[in-house]
Amino acid sequence: MPRLQIITASTRPGRVGSTVAAWALDEARRHGAFDVEAIDLAEVALPFLDEPQEASTGHYVHQHTKDWSATISRGDACLFVMPMYNGTYSAPLKNAIDFLYDEWQDKPVGLFTYTAGPSGGLPAIEALRPILTRIGFRPAERSVRVPGIGELTGPDGFRAPAGLDGELAGVLDELAKLAADADASPAQV
């Protein structure tokens, strides 16, 4: 069974991203197409990009980069659970992406955004998608967007609006197909 890594992209104190990601993790487990792994960029705690060589060389000198590479290499697909800050994605997410290159090649990726405003994070998706494609990811066409996140989170965690589970299931279905396509040999296609 392919491994889906659900990556919490917010690192700021008081964030709601961890509760949103926990909900997505539970839903992905219920979905059943993946072994699911949670990754929290706050726990990974990468410094600002400090590798002396470009990521495309694959020559990493710092242990935190080697560990990050090993973590991402064991996954077959990923889902970024990401806030929209000032109309775009978070700096810690871009930094985490920039540390690696080969590890992202042909990796299916889904985008799950949330924001306090009415857009649900669509501008963040629109800003990140071309970068992911250029790096070599295979972004799912579908995405999940949650507007008004402040009204949906509290001491009891994340209260998903009606239908959000179905939206996420659609993204997970697409990621499962993309992961299966990546594993198929030319003789099987």
pTM of the shown model? 0.95
| C-beta atoms surrounding 138 within 10 Å | 19
Q: Are 186 and 44 in contact (CB under 8 A)?
A: no
Joined tokens for residue 153: 């989170």
CATH fold of 3-183 reads Rossmann fold (3.40.50)
Alpha helices in 12-156 (DSSP H): 17-31, 41-44, 63-73, 91-98, 122-135, 149-152
* Residue carrying structure tokens 């989170």: 153
Candidates 108, 111, 107; CA nearest to 167 is 111
Q: How far apart are CA 148 and CA 186, in angstroms?
A: 45
Counting Cα atoms < 13 Å in the Cβ hemisphere of 15 gives 22
What does each of the 189 residues of the chain score in pLDDT, given as a tens digit? 999 999 999 999 999 999 999 999 999 999 999 999 999 999 999 999 999 999 999 999 999 999 999 999 999 999 999 999 999 999 999 999 999 999 999 999 999 999 999 999 999 999 999 999 999 999 999 999 999 999 999 888 999 999 999 999 999 999 999 999 877 645 444
